[in-house]
Structure 1
Amino acid sequence: MFTCASVTACSVAWIACLASVSARPNIVGWDDNVAYASLAGGMHFDRTPGNLEVSDFGLHMQLPTAISLAENLTLQPAFDYQSTILRFNQVPTSIPVDRNNLETFSVYPSVLETSALLIVSREDSPWMFGAWTRTGVATDFRDMSGDDFNCDIAGGFGYRYDDKVSLGMGAAVTHLTGDAAFYPGLGLDWQISEQFRIGVCGPTLAATYTPDKNWQFAIRGDSTGEIWNISDGDGKSRYIDFKSYRIGFFGSRRIWGEILITAGVGVTLGNEIGLNQSNGDVLIKQRLDSGLFSQVGLTIASW
């Protein structure tokens, strides 16, 4: 179970691949409508005492069918919500977020976004083109300002070699309202057989095995994180920049109609967190040890 919220976190820019292979029947991190909860822990700071726990609760929804704007031109809107709890355990800091406790405290940011994928494709052509945009807020909903809003754009192209293999390339620009960044990306969809499939969308990948209509198993990698705007204990605007990559094993079971229950466990890699001023100056930046995560959710099946 990939969640668009996770794909659209700190590395959402790689969603360029989503646009570049948009005409395919399955896009990793986009196609599934899902509600999920996850917990990651055991991530100890490399230069100070303490550790970080991250809890996520999220929802990704899109229209059942794309909107036809013209011949060979369709639009697929989507909605995402993610609520996060960042719990800092025994982490001494001179920059108070919670003045009642400068060592163990929690931060409660959320993400609320809408996005849309514009697809250009023809049945008589193997080429496909796409553009994607997303706008929303990543905030703790305290003293909201323009710093809480964000916008990302992406575009790309793809080529369908046959009914089983499609390959695409794309690029994206993220955080247009703040410290903008550019990312290229690759996309792949390979239906090896009726049971095995491999999908790649930038840093998001999945190797899935579907033995029958009721079960699916997968090894998945997913870049997660986000840049949130928060208010510290003095009411100053700060950006929390969290990065993490998760690799895990997931199993899905059909429980009713198209509804699946999915659970997974794995490890977090490349963990890093920073606290920046609104002008981009870095106040704190630290790496964290690898940790463990678990995730459970309900999905409307796309297979």
Structure 2
Amino acid sequence: MLSKASLSIIAALSLAGPLSAAELIDPAAFGFGRPGYMVDTTVIGGQDFDGSIRGSLEVFELRTILPVWSTKVGEGGRIATSLGYNITQLNFDPGDRMDLHNLELQVSYFWNSPTSNWWGLGFVTPGLGTDFNGISFDDFQISALGLLGYKFTETFTIAGGVFASYANDDGTLLPALGFIWNPGNWTLQVTPPFMVLGYKISDPVTVSLSMYPSGGSWDVDRQDGINTVDLSGWQGAASIIWKATDKLSLSLRAGINFAGEFELRDTRERVLVDENLDPAPFGAFNIRWAF
């Protein structure tokens, strides 16, 4: 499972990059760029099960980000915290529905001295992935990232480091590497697992093509014996972002959710369902109020 917290390398690069945060592109509303309040809604159409089970899965997701506190520490340093809440509704045809929740608190430290081209960032993000039935340690999730970056030119920056996460008895340790390049009105952000190519048509309007992961992992307590839900996939999207005012921006995106996988496990970690999902169209709307 690749949580939204794992995408914080993007946030790190956006803060440290040669662009001002307002010029970077956030088509999938993961919360990088200028800090602010954000609400994002995504609807994925019916993804047919590609296996022994007949039926399909539709997904509704609502994500929010709420910056809480930030303060300067020394020359070029800053500590910040933010809260995130996601609700993911899985609608099965035929028959069932799951309401799944993610709560996250991110604490981050960022250093970027005005006298140096080097910069650094670290964060830790504890949280819960749950259905709110019987909260226990199994619902606990955590991720962390450490990055060191260098600004080569006014239009190009690069960063490398390590990302680690833990959820549902599954740990991950991955290298983190990415760059942002901004020649004129074009922006190329290659910050795996997120990639975006954008073009600024005018001051208020930007269009983009992007690809990024979707899904999540949750610990649940159900009478039918299901204990763990894993949903993963990728989304390829075309987006249009309209900056209505200096603080308010609205965006629409649409595309295909593909390479989907859906897994259910019981309390003994036995796999009950392991299905690939057929591609399906999706649409999304985002509203952001920046500081």
Q: TM-score, normalization: structure 1?
A: 0.84
Q: Deviations over 1:202-255 (max 9, x none)?
A: 211221111222211111212111111111224x56111110111111112233
Where does residue 225 of structure 1 map in the other structure?
Answer: 215
Q: Please give the residue correspondences for 1:218-257 in structure 2 after superposition, counting only pairs within 5 Å.
A: 218-234=208-224, 236=225, 238-257=227-246
Q: Distance in 2 between matches of 1:106 and 1:175?
A: 26
Corresponding letter in the other structure for 2:251: T
Q: Distance in 2 between matches of 1:280 and 1:61?
A: 34
Q: Against the structure 1 CA distance between its residues 122 and 257, is the aligned structure 2 distance closer, same or farther, given a 3 Å change threshold? A: closer
Q: Against the structure 1 CA distance between its residues 256 and 129, is the aligned structure 2 distance closer, same or farther, given a 3 Å change threshold? A: closer
1:142 to 133, 148, 168: 133
Specify the SS of the correspondent of 1:161.
Answer: strand
Q: Against the structure 1 CA distance between its residues 227 and 187, is the aligned structure 2 distance closer, same or farther, given a 3 Å change threshold? A: same
Specify the SS of the correspondent of 1:180.
Answer: strand
Q: Which runs of structure 1 show a deviation greater than 4 angstroms over 4 or more consecutive aligned residues?
A: 16-22
Q: Distance in 2 between matches of 1:264 and 1:155?
A: 31
Higher relative contact order (CA 8 A, sep 6+): 1
Unaligned runs of 5+ in 1: 1-7, 91-103
Q: Please give the residue correspondences for 1:176-255 in structure 2 after superposition, counting only pairs within 5 Å.
A: 178-193=169-184, 195-234=185-224, 236=225, 238-255=227-244
Q: Distance in 2 between matches of 1:226 and 1:266?
A: 19
Q: Against the structure 1 CA distance between its residues 166 and 109, is the aligned structure 2 distance closer, same or farther, given a 3 Å change threshold? A: same
Q: CA deviation at 1:129?
A: 1.5
Q: Deviations over 1:83-108 (max 9, x none)?
A: 11101112xxxxxxxxxxxxx11100
Corresponding letter in the other structure for 2:137: G
Corresponding letter in the other structure for 1:68: K
Q: Distance in 1 between matches of 2:195 and 2:228?
A: 28
**Is 1:69 aligned to residue 73 of structure 2?**
yes
Q: Deviations over 1:133-159 (max 9, x none)?
A: 101111111111111121111112111
**Is 1:132 aligned to residue 123 of structure 2?**
yes
Q: Deviations over 1:236-295 (max 9, x none)?
A: 561111101111111122334421221111001210011123554433211111111100
Q: Distance in 1 between matches of 2:50 and 2:59?
A: 17
Specify the SS of the correspondent of 2:244.
Answer: strand
2:257 to 268, 281, 284: 268
Corresponding letter in the other structure for 2:283: S
Answer with 172-181 or 202-211: which moved more. 172-181
Corresponding letter in the other structure for 1:51: S
Q: Distance in 1 between matches of 2:125 and 2:202?
A: 35
Q: Please give the residue correspondences for 1:67-106 in structure 2 after superposition, counting only pairs within 5 Å.
A: 67-90=71-94, 104-106=95-97
Corresponding letter in the other structure for 1:190: W
State the superposition RMSD in angstroms: 2.3
Specify the SS of the correspondent of 1:13.
Answer: helix
Q: Please give the residue correspondences for 1:17-28 in structure 2 after superposition, counting only pairs within 5 Å.
A: 18-19=11-12, 22-24=15-17, 25-26=20-21
Specify the SS of the correspondent of 2:283.
Answer: strand
Q: Against the structure 1 CA distance between its residues 131 and 293, is the aligned structure 2 distance closer, same or farther, given a 3 Å change threshold? A: same
Q: CA deviation at 1:42?
A: 2.9
Q: TM-score, normalization: structure 2?
A: 0.87
2:56 to 51, 55, 71: 51
Alignment check: 8 A CA contact 1:173 1:183 kept: yes
Q: CA deviation at 1:178?
A: 2.6
Where does residue 101 of structure 1 map in the other structure?
Answer: none
Where does residue 157 of structure 1 map in the other structure?
Answer: 148
